[in-house]
Amino acid sequence: MANIYGSGHLRSREGLFTRPGANSDEIQLQIDPMHGDLDEEITGLHKKIKQLKNVAQEIESESKFQNDFITQLQMTVIKAQAGVKNNMRRLNKSIIQQGSNHVFHVILFALLCFFVVYFWSKISRR
């Protein structure tokens, strides 16, 4: 908000004075020495902007690193899934082969038991 201080000067809260110039389009600007620390404020803001830029660059590099890591992890998982799928296929084949062998052994054992019981019953009747 501007206050008028005699002789047509306008003063703002930040310590800046404006004065109408000879031409109505000209404005003269003068900085109040009491509030002359604007250069220090600008320098401080400049330093903070540099810090924010550095933080943004660190975030960018970290996100690139993590994206690469995730891509590598996805490839590892895909390879592991393919390996598990192949092993499951081999295991199923071996179970089917051994399962048929087991069935064959059970049938042979049952026939053997049947013949043993049959011959024993024949021998025991005599």
Q: What is the DSSP letter of 21?
A: -
Q: Model-level pTM greater than 0.75?
A: no
Q: Provide the pLDDT for residue 5.
A: 44
Q: Provide the pLDDT for residue 3.
A: 44
Q: Which amino acid is at 94?
A: S
Instruction: Give me the helices (H) in the chain, please.
Output: 38-125
Q: State how far the Cα of 28 lies from the Cα of 79, in Å rounded to an integer.
A: 73
Distance of CA 33 to the CA centre of its chain: 52
Cα angle 58, 62, 66; round to 5: 175
Q: Is the dihedral of CA 61, 65, 66, 70 positive or negative?
A: positive
List per-residue pLDDT tens for the chain, 126 residues long: 444 444 444 444 555 555 555 555 666 656 565 555 778 888 888 999 999 999 999 999 999 999 999 999 999 999 999 999 999 999 888 877 776 677 788 899 999 999 999 998 888 876
